[in-house]
């Protein structure tokens, strides 16, 4: 990819990470504020006094002294293996701690603090440090990489869906393996225009969906069905948690009911799971299936009342509405669309 810095165009490769900050802190709080204040990205597994209080007084004192002398990752492992902390023996390792060492200069790290997303840039001062000071231990933040400059980005509406959904589950620190998120991180941190290496429609479509959240996709499908088939949502059904549909829509003129199932990401759907929803003698129910990156299997079931909305179909509909200055598309989604399509080379 290309990145313009001080009017020089250079090739830069890097990784985007996601850091969870729920750790075993003394006050029960996340360590995100500690990371922001100290310009670090930090993890737990900190050899706290609480972790070693089962040992006899002599061993506790010995561990505390060795803890102060840890200079690198192997020194850290020497202590935890010697005393069997965290169930670690000579063959096992702590994946999250090891992942810290895979972060490189020029990478970006996303973190949340009280609902606000922060983007960290890993600069020239990058190095691993085991911090045995009381404040780091109290926050369960002893395993650190230094040299991270944090910048506030905003709430969930201000970050791509691929970033927000990366916080749902997974390891303490992990890569965000969406190919366009590095370009967005450079745009968000430095304020420079996004520079896309490709401008074909399929590329822009995928980048568009990467920027949307699951809720954004649900909104678009419901608005699409309103525009195309006069369906409106029954508000109370949005609060009902079901595995098969997001809400119930009704056409006020025909009395038909629609059940949209919307999946964001590489999630497959199967016609067979929805046949019971439309198997009624009144023939007044239909299902609409959408997945942004997955496949929809209809090989074993034929039904005139189960329909597919393809990712391309929905994307082109959004494009046509925004192009005609229609106000049907939510402002947040319009923002992502315009960002992508105003980027250099798009």
pLDDT score of 240? 75
pLDDT 10s digits, 227-282: 999 999 999 998 777 889 999 999 999 999 999 999 998 999 999 999 988 877 78
Quote the CA–CA distance of 327 and 32 in Å, as a whole number. Answer: 38
pLDDT score of 345? 54
Are the C-beta atoms of residues 35 and 172 closer than 8 Å to each other? no
Alpha helices in 83-174 (DSSP H): 95-100, 134-138, 161-164
Are the C-beta atoms of residues 292 and 160 closer than 8 Å to each other? no
Encoded tokens for 213: 């959240």
pLDDT score of 11? 43
pLDDT score of 19? 96
* Per-residue pLDDT tens digits of the chain, which is 346 residues long: 444 433 333 344 689 999 998 765 556 667 899 999 999 999 989 999 888 888 899 999 999 999 999 999 999 999 999 888 888 877 788 999 999 999 999 999 999 998 999 999 999 999 999 999 999 998 999 999 999 999 999 998 889 988 998 998 888 999 998 867 888 898 899 987 777 766 788 888 988 998 999 999 999 999 999 999 999 999 999 877 788 999 999 999 999 999 999 999 899 999 999 998 887 778 899 999 999 999 999 888 888 899 999 999 999 999 999 989 888 999 889 988 988 887 655 5
Length of the chain, in residues: 346
Encoded tokens for 179: 């190919």
Q: How many CB atoms lie within 10 A of CB 161?
A: 22
Residue 194 DSSP class: P
Residue 17: what are its φ and ψ, rounded to 5°?
-115, 160
pLDDT score of 23? 62
pLDDT score of 201? 85
Quote the CA–CA distance of 186 and 335 in Å, as a whole number. Answer: 17
Q: How many CB atoms lie within 10 A of CB 323?
A: 10
């Amino acid at each position: 990819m290309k990145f313009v810095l001080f009017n020089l165009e250079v090739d830069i490769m890097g990784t985007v990470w996601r850091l969870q900050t729920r750790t075993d802190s003394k006050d029960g709080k996340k360590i995100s504020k500690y990371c922001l204040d100290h310009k670090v990205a930090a993890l737990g597994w900190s050899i706290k006094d609480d972790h070693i209080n089962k040992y006899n007084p002599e061993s506790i004192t010995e561990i505390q002294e060795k803890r102060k002398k840890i200079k690198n990752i192997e020194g850290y492992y020497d202590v935890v293996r010697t005393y069997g902390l965290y169930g670690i023996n000579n063959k096992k390792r702590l994946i999250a701690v090891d992942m810290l060492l895979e972060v490189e200069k020029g990478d970006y790290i996303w973190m949340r603090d009280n609902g606000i997303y922060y983007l960290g840039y890993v600069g020239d001062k990058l190095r691993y440090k085991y911090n045995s000071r009381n404040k780091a231990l109290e926050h369960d933040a002893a395993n650190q990489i230094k040299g991270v400059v944090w910048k506030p980005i905003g709430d969930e509406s201000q970050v791509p869906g691929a970033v927000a959904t990366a916080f749902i589950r997974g390891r303490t620190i992990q890569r965000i393996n969406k190919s366009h998120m590095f370009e967005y991180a450079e745009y968000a941190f430095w304020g420079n225009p996004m520079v896309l290496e490709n401008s074909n429609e399929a590329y822009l479509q995928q980048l568009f969906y990467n920027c949307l959240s699951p809720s954004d996709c649900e909104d678009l499908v419901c608005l699409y069905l309103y525009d195309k088939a006069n369906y409106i949502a029954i508000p109370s059904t949005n609060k009902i948690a079901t595995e098969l549909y997001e809400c119930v829509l009704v056409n006020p003129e025909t009395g038909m009911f629609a059940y949209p199932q919307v999946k964001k990401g590489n999630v497959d759907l199967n016609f067979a799971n929805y046949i019971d929803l439309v198997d009624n003698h009144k023939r007044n129910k239909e299902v609409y299936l959408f997945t942004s990156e997955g496949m929809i299997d209809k090989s074993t079931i034929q039904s005139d009342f189960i329909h597919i909305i393809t990712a391309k179909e929905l994307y082109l509909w959004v494009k046509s509405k925004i192009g005609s200055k229609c106000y049907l598309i939510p402002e947040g989604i319009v923002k992502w669309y315009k960002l992508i399509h105003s980027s250099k080379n798009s």
